[in-house]
Structure 1
Amino acid sequence: MTTALSRRRFIGISAAAAGMSLLPLAAGHAAMNDPNIHVWRGFALGAPARVILHHSDTAGAQRLFGEIAAETRRLEAIFSLFQPGSEISTLNRTGALANPSSDMVALLARCRTIHAESGGLFDPTVQPLWTCLARHFSAEGADPRGPAAEEMRRALGQIGFKAVRFNADRIAFGRRSMALTLNGVAQGYITDRIAELLARRGLTRSLVNMGEYRALATKPDGTPWRIGLSVLETDTTPDITVDIENQALATSSAQGFRFDPDGRFNHLLNPKTGLSATLYSHLTVVAPNATDADAWATAFSLMTPDEIRAALPRLGGVAVHLKSVNGDLMHIDA
């Protein structure tokens, strides 16, 4: 299997929703020069994570770091495909899950709404298609044209979020051999939960990056948080910069994970056709929360600019920055 991963996503290969590198410009410089800036570094669902706090009490900041780490571990035990005992791994293995956590139910409910709003292009049950491609391209001498048509038909037949039945007591698949991946939305959800934790503790002027970004208010100097976007962290100059204030930002790129050298088969999978996204070099969504930004970054990667433009007025507070495969930059908002 051939991959082209950003360093930010390199751990989460087997089911990653890989994307571009998102770099807070000058954040490191601010941390070195302002004694009230404290930086937590860790991992969330296999991706490097960072939280920048503006806190006048160093001991208090350290206590918050412990809370951030504990909350991240708790949520990974729900959403991680790498943990055999996680809720999602148990559900995929058995086809049903009794007494799911409120976080799992809440995220599935949001997925159901975005699945409908996107016309089915955002579909967390796409995991069988990922598995089909991973199995094919990891085999020695794999046909570069991809899996056989019958294998693809079989995988597509296992996809369909409407067949996921859930309530506060139970989650169950309505078809045999279904499987979920929440990697196209869970990092955004974790980002939101950490941001809410900080807000409950009275913090403002902070930036949360748990795989996607969410800004609480502004930087300490009152200016917006400026995020530099590049395909790989080895890039020295951002391709695009985006300012956010009390907003979230998420991004997707077909270059994040490629099954084949040419990138014809990548992680941005169309649940209706089985084909991979090919329109954009990268696409970034700014939204009121990171959960929605994360999910829509996936869905919009499968839409034309006109389709994106038609969808935005229904969503409220969502904007898109994209770069076509031809190098054209575009900003779309309602």
Structure 2
Amino acid sequence: MPAAGRAMPSTEPVIWRGQALGAPATLVLNHEDRTEAQALIKKVVAEVARLEGIFSLYRENSALSELNRVGALAAPPAELVELLETCRHFHQLSDGRFDPAIQPLWALYARHFVSADADPAGPTPEEIRSAVALAGFDKVHFDRNRVAFSRPGMAVTLNGIAQGYVTDRIVMLLRDAGVTSSLVDMGENSAIGSKADGSPWRIGLASFENEAEPDLVLDVTDRSVATSSGAGFLFDPAGRFSHILDPRTGTTARQYERVSVVAPLAATADALSTAFALMTPVEISSLAKTVGEIDVHLRTQDGQTCSNKNPAATGDCTI
């Protein structure tokens, strides 16, 4: 979906496609000055690379990888501390459903199913209990001088919020440069203003990235959208175990095909879409009212769609 700056509609867009924290990323800018647009693209690419050097779970030299390897990190980057503070807010707000300290549980499932003779029933209850005991973001202690885990074997993943955080940083960079109309996709989507013709940006929602058609299309202006779907990553060929794991029980979330959140900030939408995947519609409704300024769109496993945006049209699936 093309983004627009202050250019005339006939101006050819400048397009960048790449990766942001392992996910496909796109930035499309229509701009009256093509040279300036290309310079902005370079700044975006540099900022994404810098932030990836902090938050990446898979780069051995990232700040996050060092923290997980050693169990502590001195003089952490300011952006890491800022994001950890945001994580603590959503961990407390969601009563522990949003839990970046779930990485040992994720690693357990990954190790189990990479084995050629893996039990299709998954890890043993004892293994799951041991991994769950290492979860809990309240066991991560940090300030601007140091980050440390309270127990050996702990590890953190920021995959449930870092893409949103990076998206917000890129939006801020573009706004500071004077961009008033753009659509940013850094793994999560964020609209700056409306399109050049004044109409809202349109973002399609689906449970699978390769869906031919979305099951819902949203009109978005100055808002961000994030989606959590178990189909995004499956540990096993049968599709019984997804990456959305409950830090309290170690089990896989199976209630929804898709949970999508629209919020002012992409980090908020990212974190809440993860937490909501582990909540009942009643719990989602309560938390959504507490947070305010968010829209929630669900698709259940039996194909029902429901939303707090238009609850009268959602049938039995009401939030």
Relative to the length of structure 1, the TM-score reads: 0.89
Q: Residues 76 and 145 of structure 2 are in contact (CA less than 8 Å); yes or no, is this contact kept in structure 1?
A: yes
How do residues 1-334 of structure 1 correspond to structure 2 at under 5 angstroms?
A: 24=1, 27=2, 34-35=10-11, 37-333=13-309
**Deviations for 1:75-102, whole angstroms, at most 9, x for unmatched residues?**
0000001110100000000000011111
Q: Deviations over 1:255-283 (max 9, x none)?
A: 11111233321100100000111011111
Q: Which amino acid aligns with 1:305?
A: P
Which structure exhibits the higher relative contact order, with contacts defined as CA atoms closer than 8 Å and separated by 6 or more residues? 1
> Does the CA contact (< 8 Å) of 1:54 and 1:204 recur in 2?
no
Given that 1:36 and 1:56 are in contact with CA atoms closer than 8 Å, whether structure 2 keeps it comes out as no
Structure 1: gaps (5+ residues): 1-23
Runs of 4+ in 1 over 4 A off after TM superposition: 28-31
- How far does residue 215 in structure 1 lie from its aligned partner after superposition? 0.7
Tell me, in whole angstroms, the C-alpha distance in 2 between the residues paired with 1:28 and 1:109.
Answer: 31
User: 3-state DSSP class of the match of 1:198?
Assistant: helix
Q: How many residues align?
A: 308
Provide the rounded CA distance (Å) in 2 between the counterparts of 1:129 and 1:153: 9
Mapped partners of 1:59, 1:128: distance in 2: 46
SS of equivalent to 1:249: strand
Cα drift, residue 52 of structure 1: 2.2
TM-fit CA distance, 1:36: 5.6
C-alpha contact (below 8 Å) 2:3/2:28 kept by paired residues: no
Give the secondary structure class of the aligned counterpart of 1:130: helix
- Preserved CA contact (<8 Å) 2:55 2:162: yes
Q: Deviations over 1:71-126 (max 9, x none)?
A: 00000000001110100000000000011111000000000000000000000000
Cα distance change of structure 1 residues 299 and 309 upon mapping to structure 2, 3 Å threshold:
same
Q: Please tell me the root mean square deviation across aligned C-alpha atoms, in Å.
A: 1.7
Aligned-pair CA distance for 1:306: 1.0
* Identity within the alignment, %: 49
Give the letter for the 1:135 counterpart.
R
What TM-score comes out, normalization by structure 2 length?
Answer: 0.93
d(CA) in 1 for partners of 2:286, 2:79: 31
Alpha-carbon distance between aligned partners in 2 of 1:158 and 1:200, rounded to the nearest angstrom: 41
Distance 1:47 1:296 in 2: 19
CA apart distance, 1:243: 1.2
Deviation larger for 252-261 or 61-70: 252-261
Distance 1:256 1:216 in 2: 26
User: Helix, strand or coil for the counterpart of 1:197?
Assistant: helix
Q: Is 2:3–2:30's contact at 8 Å kept on the other side of the alignment?
A: no
